[in-house]
Amino acid sequence: MPTAVRSEPLVTARSLVKRYGSVPVLDDVSFTVNPGVTGLLGANGAGKTTILGMILGLHPADGGELDVLGHNPWKAGRQVRTRIGYAPEHHTLPPDLRAAEFVKHVAELHGLPPDEATTRASDALWLVDLGEERFRPMGTMSTGQRQRVKLAQAIAHDPEFVLLDEPTDGLDPTQRDVMLDLIRHISEDFGITVVLSSHLIDEVERVCDGAIIIGEGRTLASGTIEELKGGDGVGVALELDAGDEAIDRFVTELQRLPGLMVEGDSRHLHVSRNDGVDSTTSSDVLVAVRDGCADHGIGIVRLERRRLRLEDVFLRSTQ
């Protein structure tokens, strides 16, 4: 198993199409998964789990191309699945089974010899802070502990990348922080690429290097988090000190300029390009605002580049 850090994409999808019967689930989905942590973001039912299933080679594509670790996963599913770890979304693991035995068994299924599987199951459970709990039946564990068992079984056989389906589902804020830290730790310290499927934007923004936003069966946006948020910013955030009349004239003049969009109340404004996320135009906006304020004698209390949150990107993409 190669342990060197890869630089090329682990997964490349081009115009993927998937239907269940006559119901289209994915229609023209394209993305790449690069080393690091990638968030697969979309509302419930957007097709995230279907994409994970296709990456695992469990469903054939009805159109388009999918390359996983250099293979077509539908044709070479076994080779692909040997090198991937997967943590399912559901929590109903066998209640009578001890965590260590479960993790060991999954490691053996991925080809580890029994002795090695025993050792690595223990190591993986210690890593997720379940070392002391590893001989407990999973039915006696909390949701947070079961989520960590699922993470441990996904990494115990040392995959090249892991697919985590809603790994923070059912966790309280403290447990969620622990899980997100673990995910970051696995990626940064062990070089295991993580695909994190989630409908929670803030956790994707917090731990992911890149994101793929899926909606209505299409890729709405994809790229690094910085790219999605507009690189060096989109437009400016302003706090002004002037009378309403002067501000109204200023706003009217800005709106007359081609391609500019002004939002906000009277003294707190956001000025940006109205042609979407474009990191190269922030300086143009800054110049327009500076000149307009000077022309109308408006005092500037605060002027800063406005950075999008991933939520803004998601909402814009889904509108």
Partner 1 sequence: MTTGETTGDISSPGFEPGSGTVLEAGSDARIYDQGFRRYDGPRTGLDGALRSLVKHSLRQALGLGRSARYKLVPLPIVAMAFIPATGMIAMAALIPVGTEQFLPTYAEYYGTVAAAIYLFAGLIAPELLCTDQRTGMLGVYLASPIDRPRYLLGKAVAVFLLLLVITLGPPLLMLIAFTLQSQGPDGLVQWLEVLFRIVASSAVIGVLYGAVGMAISATTDRRVVATAAILSMIPGSAIVTDILVGDGGLPDWLRLFNVMFLPRALVFRIHEERGGWSVLDNPTWTLWLAFAAWLVVCIGWIWFRYRRLLVRR
Q: How far is the CB of 130 from partner 1 (least distance, A)?
A: 12
| Chain residues in the site for partner 1 (CB under 8 A) | 1, 3, 49, 52-53, 56, 58, 77-78, 81-82, 84, 86, 88-90, 92-98, 101, 105-106, 108-114, 116-117, 119-120, 122-124, 126-127, 137, 153, 155, 157-158, 165, 190-191
Q: How far is the CB of 122 from partner 1 (least distance, A)?
A: 7
Residue 183 CA to residue 37 CA, distance in Å, equals 8
Which pair of tokens denotes residue 262? 């002004």
Q: Given the complex with partner 1, which of 31 and 102 has the nearer CB atom? A: 102
> How many other CB atoms are there within 10 angstroms of residue 281's CB atom?
19
Which positions ≥6 away from 43 have C-beta within 8 Å? 199, 215, 318
Q: Given the complex with partner 1, which of 88 and 231 has the nearer CB atom? A: 88
Q: Given the complex with partner 1, which of 146 and 176 has the nearer CB atom? A: 146
Q: How far is the CB of 182 from partner 1 (least distance, A)?
A: 11
* CA 37 to each of CA 30, 89, 172, 178, 317: distance values in angstroms, whole numbers, following the listed order: 18, 18, 22, 16, 21
Q: Given the complex with partner 1, which of 93 and 257 has the nearer CB atom? A: 93
Beta strands (DSSP E) in 69-216 are 84-87, 161-165, 193-198, 210-215
Q: How far is the CB of 206 from partner 1 (least distance, A)?
A: 23
- The amino acid occupying position 1 is M
Residue 302 CA to residue 33 CA, distance in Å, equals 39
Q: How far is the CB of 96 from partner 1 (least distance, A)?
A: 5
- Closest of 233, 221, 236 to residue 309, by C-alpha: 233
Q: Is 25 exposed, middle or buried (0-12, 13-18, 19+ CB in 10 A)?
A: buried
Half-sphere exposure of 162 (CA within 13 A, CB side): 30
Which pair of tokens denotes residue 236? 């400016």
Residue 273 CA to residue 261 CA, distance in Å, equals 6
Q: Give me the helix-helix angle, 282-296 and 244-256, nearest 10°.
A: 140
Q: Given the complex with partner 1, which of 170 and 264 has the nearer CB atom? A: 170
DSSP, collapsed to helix, strand or coil, labels residue 172 as coil
Q: How far is the CB of 84 from partner 1 (least distance, A)?
A: 8
Q: How far is the CB of 57 from partner 1 (least distance, A)?
A: 9
Q: How far is the CB of 5 from partner 1 (least distance, A)?
A: 11
